[in-house]
């Protein structure tokens, strides 16, 4: 273990591999929730104040999704591919999804994306969430709901 990793663990009272517990999977109900999850991830660098435009962040797939930038490492999510059969139309729809919301709370960090095992409607959570709790219900931004219609 490198000195950097040892210091990181000591400061955060952690142990184990440096990247341990960094990845988290979450079951989502449908394409609209999957697109909301993609939006949430791609807007993380904006929330962190690293970039103003999520498509300019070099370490994400956003430029491929929103601008069509070629990257052989990117495999598009089926929900994104379902936006249109035409690449330019998909990109335009995705840029609309990425736009800042008029509701500032929808662009805030939402810990439910990283803490819940399932995200969706009450009916979906009742079937798929271990406790059936409603805490996994995440409001979808209006511009994501419009794309799904």
**What tokens appear for 83 in the block?**
């936006």
56-92, pLDDT tens digit by residue?
Answer: 999 999 999 999 999 999 999 999 999 999 999 999 9
> The pTM is what?
0.72
Confirm whether 75 is domain-assigned.
Answer: yes
Q: What residue numbers bound the domain in which 135 lies?
A: 24-147
Confirm whether 1 is domain-assigned.
Answer: no
Confirm whether 7 is domain-assigned.
Answer: no
Q: Maximum distance among all alpha carbons in the chain? A: 52
**Backbone phi, then psi, for 7, in 5-degree steps?**
-65, -45
Among 1-10, 102-111, 120-129, 137-146, name the one with the lowest average pLDDT.
137-146
Confirm whether 121 is domain-assigned.
Answer: yes
pLDDT band at 101 (very low <50, low <70, confident <90, very high): confident
Confirm whether 2 is domain-assigned.
Answer: no
d(CA 26, CA 38) in angstroms, rounded, equals 12
**Mean pLDDT (whole number) for 17-37:** 77
Number of domains making up the chain? 1
Confirm whether 120 is domain-assigned.
Answer: yes
Nearest 5 degrees, angle CA 57-CA 90-CA 83? 120
Confirm whether 95 is domain-assigned.
Answer: yes
Confirm whether 78 is domain-assigned.
Answer: yes
């Amino acid at each position: 273990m490198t000195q950097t990793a040892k210091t990181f663990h000591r400061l955060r009272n952690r142990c184990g591999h440096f990247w341990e517990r960094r990845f988290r999977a979450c079951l989502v109900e449908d394409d609209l929730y999957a697109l909301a999850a993609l939006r949430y991830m791609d807007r993380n660098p904006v929330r962190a104040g690293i970039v103003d435009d999520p498509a300019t962040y070099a370490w994400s797939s956003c430029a491929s999704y929103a601008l069509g930038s070629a990257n052989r490492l990117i495999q598009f999510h089926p929900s994104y591919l379902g936006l249109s059969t035409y690449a330019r139309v998909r990109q335009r729809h995705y840029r609309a999804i990425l736009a800042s919301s008029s509701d500032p709370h929808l662009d805030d960090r939402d810990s439910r994306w990283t803490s819940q095992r399932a995200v969706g409607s009450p009916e979906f959570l009742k079937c798929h969430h271990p406790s059936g709790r409603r805490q996994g219900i995440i409001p979808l931004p209006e511009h994501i709901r419009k794309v799904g219609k």
